[in-house]
Amino acid sequence: MTTQLASGAVGRGFGDRLILAATIALAIVMVIPMLWAVGLSLKTNQELLVDTQSVLKAPWTLINYYDILIGSGVFRWLLNSIIVSTGMSLGVLVLSSLAGYGFARLEFPGRNVIFVLVLFGLAIPEQAVILVRHQLFSDLDLHNTYAGLMLPGMSAPFGVFLMTQYFKAIPTEIDEAAMLDNASRFKIFWRVLLPMTLPAQATLGIFTFLHAWNDYWWPMVSGTNQQMYTLTVGIASTQQNFAESAGLGYLMAQAVFASLPVLIVYMFFQKYIVRAVSGAAT
Amino acid sequence: MIRPIAILLSCLALTSCGVQQPPNEIVVQRFFGTCNAQYGTRTDVAAAEGECGIMTTLINKFSAENPDVRVRVSPVAWPGYNQLAAQLAAGDPPDLVTMHLSSIPDYQSRALIEPLGKDLRAVGVDPQGFTAASSAGVNIQGDVFGLPIDNWAPLWHINMNYFRQAGLVKDGKPILPRSPEELLEHARRFKAATGKPYLVQTLAIERASYARNLYTLLMQQNATIFPDPQHIHLQSPEAKRVVDLFRQIYVEDLTTKNLDYAASTNAFINGAGGVFIVGTWLIGDFEAESRRADRPLSNGYTVRPFPQLYAARDATYIDGHAWVMPAKERTPQQRDAVFRLLKFFADNDFEWSRTGHLPAYQAVIDSERFNALPHRREIAKLSATGMTLPASVQRQFPVADIVGEEMSAAITGHKTVDAALADAEHRINDLLFHVL
Amino acid sequence: MPGIELKNVTKTFGAATVIDNVSLSIRPHEFMVFLGPSGCGKSTLLRMIAGLESVDAGEIWIGDRRVDQLAPGERRVAMVFQHYALYPHMTVRENMSFGLRNVRLPDAEIDKRVEAAAKMLEIAHLLDRKPGQISGGQRQRVAIGRAIVKEPHLFLFDEPLSNLDAALRVRTRLEIAQLHQRVDAAMIFVTHDQIEAMTLAHRIVVMNNRKIEQIGTPMEIYSRPATTFVASFVGTPAMNFSPVELSDGPNGFVSARLPDGAIVATRIDKASLPISKSFKLGIRAESLEICPVGQGETAGVAQFVERLGDRTLVYVKLSDGLTIVAGDTGNSRVAINDQVGVKFDGSDAHLFDDQDRGHHAVLDGSAT
Amino acid sequence: MLYVAPFLCLYVILLVYPLFGGFWLSLHKADLFGGRRFVGFENFVRLSNDQVFLGAVGNTFYFILLTVPALAIIGLGLALALNRQTRTAAVLRGVFFSSSVLSVTIVTLLWKVVYAPEGGFVANLLEVFGRPPIPFLSSAELALPAIAITTIWWCIGLPMMLFLAALQQVPRELYEAAALDNAGRWKTLWNVTLPSIRRTFALVLIIEVVLQFQLFGQAYLMTQGGPNNASRPMVLFLFEVGFTRWDVGYAVAAGQILFGFIAIAAFAQYLVARRKEAF
């Protein structure tokens, strides 16, 4: 948000305040589900069984959170999600940067054809290949490993596309200056060009992280071992029909607990995340 | 260039480790929910209640008694078959899995689970001791492919306080309908007297309960559901009668609507209606609720088998849970541990039957202490009247899904009854035709 | 200090030849400017010397080392790019020391060189800033500094002044000239600006269409252009050209008759002229003087008048339709559509034969 | 080439091979556990006659219709309202994007307790006004719209951000010129702002179409495709056929159709991107 735009330069005043009020109202609607969940999580399961309106009345309790601390798999799931999301993001960044540099800067036979073929990959939805991929991972013995959870995300061509465009936008003068500075090809890539792509790296990293964090189907069918559950799979494993024996308050506490880290991280880095996401559009 | 690639490779090597299973560890995958907060470390099985509590404490107790074995429990969302399929396809299944008797043929026919008979006998579990229904579920082609732990059936859980209000109690016992017409009449009377719907049903986001009702009432009419293992027969007057009945109940608001499983359970506990049609597994929970003061169910809960609404036969669709052992390589230690755990479950089947399920062992059913449990005498006849679908029918779970979906559509009025039955029959036959 | 030698250098891109058999020799410590319009190949030639473009045929020597197969970093050349090509994520100091670190110079030596260069360029206070935080002119100095610290045998400048505003350009031009005094290296400077070329160069290489048109000192280029291209490209306003017919003039010189009949007496030796089907006369505006009608060799109508202050340029349309530019005094009273006379001073006139070779007035004291 | 190779390897092994392998597999009748038999295009013929699949295709398109325009319009509205430098605006931007960082299982959990007819938030609210609860997830008419609302709630952050970024790119001079021309707020919006971000609008539409085509988790976790097949999207169909019915060849054939649809959308995106100047 670098420049203030003058979209409201004319006719400020009442209309402006009206818009603001409407937006705030919408924002309240936006947070209601979250607040509702937090409220539910602060009540005992027994009380909720009788009446959920009791959310508005004392007494509230942290018993559900205490229960999570002593006996929930949510820690392990969180850890797995963090490992998988971070690993996938790093992997995508490394692979996309290397490939993006290759496509943008190096001459090799068939480069353009290969690049177009990679672009075609943008049109392949994960779901269309998931069954065959699942069999493939079975043959490679990759299920229930972190690599098995991370690798599919790394094959997505979006990052390569983004990085190629970004590398192409860097003037070749920079490369040439570095060549005259006695830098090896790899050094040019690593020390000179790569640091210049940091904004793109941030965008790509955040997108990949969020994608990995929210991915559901693949971790569900690949990380089937409870110790390999990611957060999405773990939470889902406790929420379907018959498993609701644990109680509504407990489930909500678990959801809140599981969301907290990512929401906190989000709040801290909001500025950068917003900038990175906006960066993707330009 | 070399360095990052080396880093990448070593990262890959690191991440490909995943989880290593120690040689004395067995992974037990089950549904029945998670309740670690309440039962996480408890081993006092007798004090536990409900499926989740009893299952958790049983396994805790086994672990405590067998310190050389590590049991890793992996609870899955019910019924867990998608996950199991993924695990089997990945070649990485758990060591023991809970499975419905009706699903065992699917896995047995593809050699995905191992025969257990010889080893069970070796640890002292005699498959001859299984109840008839359990035995039929796990015995395939001359071998035993699972350790049954219970049988269950749809039951009528009754709020006696409302029944009394509606004049449907005689000699302290609920008066239950003996025909569809009587059912409607009771329901109307009930509604007039209490203002509540007669039935509490799980109608939303649910398939299995529809199928259980349909199977039960078809069996009571002696209708042929599967003329042969590859075909279902649903476009029959018998089936139409059943679905019409439920449709009528729905139309007249004689049932709760739009409740999913959790909501309907809560609704019954909170006094939303008279009869909750659901399985055996909630007897323990409702019984506990009836002992609490000032609740709709206080001192007013009883349970009965599905009443016989059609004259032809007193029958109830019955299924059951069993432990099965997916085929995979195991260390001798693990194999040993698996059978010790199975033996433990066989020995503790009484504890499991406190959930409300019918024991899988005739000896337990006949036992004094089982019959001393509340309401068990009322449902004991299920071991005689319970019927399963033919074991030769594959894919019973997806079949029940389709039955449930189409029945739901018919009952809630999205389709005509005839269309729903025709669609169900067509879809199921298509499914069965394409089973390889 | 070594000189630079280009021998029959050729470069092709696919079917297109971009540098055609160029040979050139640069003396040690010489300031050489490649001048030409865009697309003439001057930048390509520079980049070939730097090693940024491959050499398809021919050889490049720096001193006694043949460098055309060496990597750019090994040629001991430094380059200042048009857009500076500073590394945006590095501080000024890091920018300047990057190349030195790459050759693993000791830290103390690196610091010494960077400090010295920064001091010389007056950017010592900027060393810890990043390129994004300093002005365009300062970036230019950093780019130069980055070249200086390498202590190269040869500096290469690729239109380094084109991104500066006019005032800064003049100042930087002077500074580059001073820099050349201080460093012990040859310089090659690519530009399309003839003033930069004239002010900076020891010698200018004028290029056009992938070929060298002429190599010479600024005054040689200006006063003895080898081709019509050089003649028209160098000098403001551009030289007037007209097809002429030759006749004998006094002292063995030739006279040229313009299509409108005006006769211009040159100081070009008739004997030196080759046989040619046709000749073109080239004559600069400063050799044409506006005069009252009838007093000059010819006359015409003033079409435009450009007042430059110290003098005035008058575009005169002759009777045959040819327009020529003539000079007048700063306070000229000529107005558009005035009838004016034009007086020719043929002593600095040039003739170009049908091979486009230039022939010039005999130099005083010699008869070539 | 060395730089491109690591990615290319993964790309070929994990995306290209499964795609072509999938096409080959879709010509077979195949069980998840072993057995397969070549049947040509039978699976595709089956799909074209399968009411459930056709329903799923219909649901998918209906869902896109429900979500994509709403996402684009609400996203644009929010971007216009929040494109200012006040602190309030910054906080609000944060609020509207915050739901995007939640995982699908959490989102569905939250919304299930909002929608639940028994004790859900909306039911409680209606109770206060003396109204009966609305059966969002168990009514064939409301199930998919309810999932759509959840999805819009979950996904609104991205289009808002994309529009905000686009608004930042509109040259200030345009607004100043409009102000000099006495254009009011609406005139400025219609004649200056909107035309300037046309291309972003098209891109947002296409990106969201591609994303919402892949609806899975919300439907799987909230309604399981019911009632009466009213909320089963293509991807859920594919999942069920593959992992519940084990009819892998059939599932993969459905996957090919999905690929076809998305390829069309992606091609549209390419066209828009290529016409950068024209917009």
Same domain, C296 and C195: no
C: neighbours with 3+ CB pairs under 8 Å?
A
pLDDT tens per residue across span D27-61: 999 988 878 899 999 999 999 999 999 999 999 99
Tell whether A242 is within 8 A of chain B (Cβ): yes
Same domain, C95 and C210: yes
Cα dist. C70→A20, C54, D9, D119 in Å? 65, 10, 34, 79
3-state secondary structure of A11: coil
Burial status of residue C219 (CB atoms within 10 A of its CB: 0-12, 13-18, 19 or more): exposed
The pLDDT, as a whole number, for residue B9 is 61
| Residue B384 covered by a domain | no
pLDDT band at A28 (very low <50, low <70, confident <90, very high): very high
| Residue C366 covered by a domain | no
The pLDDT, as a whole number, for residue C60 is 93
Q: Which domains does chain D have, with CATH numbers?
A: 43-274 (1.10.3720.10)
Same domain, B63 and B132: yes
| Residue B3 covered by a domain | no
CB atoms within 10 A of CB B300: 19
pLDDT tens per residue across span A155-195: 888 899 889 988 998 999 999 999 999 888 889 999 999 99
The domain that holds B354 is classified in CATH as 3.40.190.10
Same domain, C105 and C205: yes
B171: tokens are 């000699």
The domain that holds C257 is classified in CATH as 2.40.50.140
| Residue B205 covered by a domain | yes
Which bin fits D256, alpha (ψ -120 to 50), beta or left (φ > 0)? alpha
Same domain, C212 and C342: no
Contact B414 D246 (CB under 8 A): no
pLDDT above 80: residue C367 = no
Same domain, B283 and B329: no
Same domain, B295 and B407: yes
| Eight-class DSSP state of A72 | -
Query: In chain D, what residues touch B427 (CB-CB under 8 Å)?
Result: 52
pLDDT above 70: residue A4 = no
Distance, in Å, from the CA atom of B35 to the CA atom of B33, rounded to the nearest integer, reads: 7
Residues in contact with D9: Cβ distance below 8 Å, sequence separation at least 6, in sequence order: none
Radius of gyration over every alpha carbon of chain A, rounded to an integer in angstroms: 24
| Eight-class DSSP state of B292 | S
Same domain, C78 and C193: yes
Tell whether C130 is within 8 A of chain A (Cβ): no
Tell whether A98 is within 8 A of chain C (Cβ): no
Asked if C212 and C24 touch (Cβ cutoff 8 Å), the reply is yes
The domain that holds C50 is classified in CATH as 3.40.50.300
Cα dist. B7→A157, B3, B11, C189, D192 in Å? 22, 6, 6, 44, 51
Strand-pair category, B25-30 with B96-100: parallel
| Residue B8 covered by a domain | no
How many helices (H) and strands (E) are present in chain D, helices listed first?
16, 2
In order along its 436 residues, chain B shows pLDDT tens digits of 455 555 656 655 555 555 567 888 999 999 888 787 788 889 999 999 888 889 999 999 999 999 999 999 888 888 889 889 999 988 889 999 999 999 999 999 999 999 999 999 999 999 999 998 899 899 998 899 999 999 999 999 999 999 999 999 999 999 999 999 999 999 999 999 999 999 999 998 889 999 999 999 999 999 999 999 999 999 999 999 999 999 999 999 999 998 888 889 889 999 999 999 999 988 988 998 899 899 999 999 999 999 999 999 999 999 999 999 999 999 999 999 999 999 999 999 999 999 999 999 999 999 999 999 989 988 888 888 999 998 889 999 999 999 999 999 999 998 999 999 999 999 999 999 988 7
CB atoms within 10 A of CB B130: 27
Find the domain containing B246 and state its range.
Answer: 155-317+389-433
Same domain, B218 and B238: yes
Beta-bridge mates of residue C302: C316
Nearest to B98 by CA among B77, B117, B115: B77
The pLDDT, as a whole number, for residue D161 is 87
pLDDT band at D122 (very low <50, low <70, confident <90, very high): very high
For residue D75, the one-letter residue type is G
Q: Of all helices (H) and strands (E), which one includes residue A119?
A: helix A111-120
The pLDDT, as a whole number, for residue C106 is 94
Distance, in Å, from the CA atom of C120 to the CA atom of C131, rounded to the nearest integer, reads: 19
Instruction: Tell me how far the alpha carbon of residue C345 is from its chain's centroid.
Output: 26
Cis peptide before C131 (omega within 30 of 0): no
3-state secondary structure of C234: coil
Asked if B282 and B303 touch (Cβ cutoff 8 Å), the reply is no
Find the domain containing C43 and state its range.
Answer: 4-227
Asked if A281 and B72 touch (Cβ cutoff 8 Å), the reply is no
For residue B164, the one-letter residue type is R
pLDDT band at D265 (very low <50, low <70, confident <90, very high): confident
Residue percentage of chain C with pLDDT more than 90: 57
Same domain, C298 and C221: no
pLDDT above 60: residue C333 = yes
Alpha helix segments (H runs only) across B291-361: 332-347, 349-353
3-state secondary structure of A151: helix
The pLDDT, as a whole number, for residue A2 is 37
3-state secondary structure of C265: strand
| Residue B2 covered by a domain | no
Distance, in Å, from the CA atom of C322 to the CA atom of C259, rounded to the nearest integer, reads: 9
C260: tokens are 């409108």
Residue A36 phi, psi (nearest 5): -60, -45
The pLDDT, as a whole number, for residue A6 is 41
DSSP C289-318: EEESTTTSSEEEEEEEEEE-SSEEEEEEEE
pLDDT band at A10 (very low <50, low <70, confident <90, very high): very low
The pLDDT, as a whole number, for residue C339 is 92
| Residue C44 covered by a domain | yes
The pLDDT, as a whole number, for residue D279 is 39
| Eight-class DSSP state of C91 | -
Tell whether C70 is within 8 A of chain A (Cβ): no
Same domain, C76 and C113: yes
Which bin fits D38, alpha (ψ -120 to 50), beta or left (φ > 0)? beta
C225: tokens are 């252009």
- Average pLDDT on A6-25 reads 71
Tell whether D182 is within 8 A of chain B (Cβ): no
- Cβ-nearest to A246 among B17, B33, B270: B33
D101: tokens are 């960082």
| Residue C105 covered by a domain | yes
D: neighbours with 3+ CB pairs under 8 Å?
A, B
- The better pLDDT of the pair A274, C341 is held by C341
Give domain limits for chain A.
Answer: 15-61, 73-281
The pLDDT, as a whole number, for residue A1 is 37
Same domain, B209 and B104: no
User: Residue length, chain D?
Assistant: 279
CB neighbour burial string for A204-216, b if at least 16 within 10 angstroms, e if fewer: bbbbbbbbbbbbb
- Average pLDDT on C333-339 reads 90
Asked if D128 and D139 touch (Cβ cutoff 8 Å), the reply is no
Cis peptide before B307 (omega within 30 of 0): no
- Average pLDDT on C63-87 reads 90
Asked if D265 and D68 touch (Cβ cutoff 8 Å), the reply is no
pLDDT above 90: residue D276 = no
Among chain A residues, the shortest Cα distance to D77 is held by A23
| Residue B243 covered by a domain | yes
Distance, in Å, from the CA atom of A101 to the CA atom of D247, rounded to the nearest integer, reads: 42
3-state secondary structure of D128: helix
Distance, in Å, from the CA atom of D12 to the CA atom of D117, rounded to the nearest integer, reads: 48
Distance, in Å, from the CA atom of B344 to the CA atom of B364, rounded to the nearest integer, reads: 14
Within the 128-147 window of chain A, which residues sit less than 8 Å (CB to CB) from chain B?
134-135, 137-138, 141-147
- Nearest chain B Cα distance for residue D227, angstroms: 7
Distance, in Å, from the CA atom of A16 to the CA atom of A23, rounded to the nearest integer, reads: 11
| Residue B14 covered by a domain | no
B148: tokens are 């049954």
Distance, in Å, from the CA atom of B189 to the CA atom of B174, rounded to the nearest integer, reads: 14
Same domain, C337 and C250: yes
pLDDT above 60: residue A281 = no
Final residue of a structural domain among C198, C227, C256: C227
Number of structural domains in chain B: 2
The pLDDT, as a whole number, for residue B126 is 93
| Residue C365 covered by a domain | no
Tell whether C13 is within 8 A of chain A (Cβ): no
The pLDDT, as a whole number, for residue C366 is 45
Number of structural domains in chain C: 2
- Nearest chain A Cα distance for residue D141, angstroms: 22
pLDDT tens per residue across span C195-240: 999 999 999 999 998 889 999 999 999 999 999 999 999 988 889 9
Domain A73-281: give its CATH superfamily. MetI-like (1.10.3720.10)
| Residue C302 covered by a domain | yes
C101: tokens are 């670190």
Choose the mutation target among C44, C47, C89 for the interface with A, i.e. most A CBs under 10 Å: C89
Asked if C91 and A189 touch (Cβ cutoff 8 Å), the reply is no
pLDDT tens per residue across span D199-244: 888 888 888 998 899 999 999 989 988 788 899 999 999 999 999 9
Distance, in Å, from the CA atom of B413 to the CA atom of B406, rounded to the nearest integer, reads: 11
Burial status of residue A65 (CB atoms within 10 A of its CB: 0-12, 13-18, 19 or more): middle
Residue B239 phi, psi (nearest 5): -65, -40
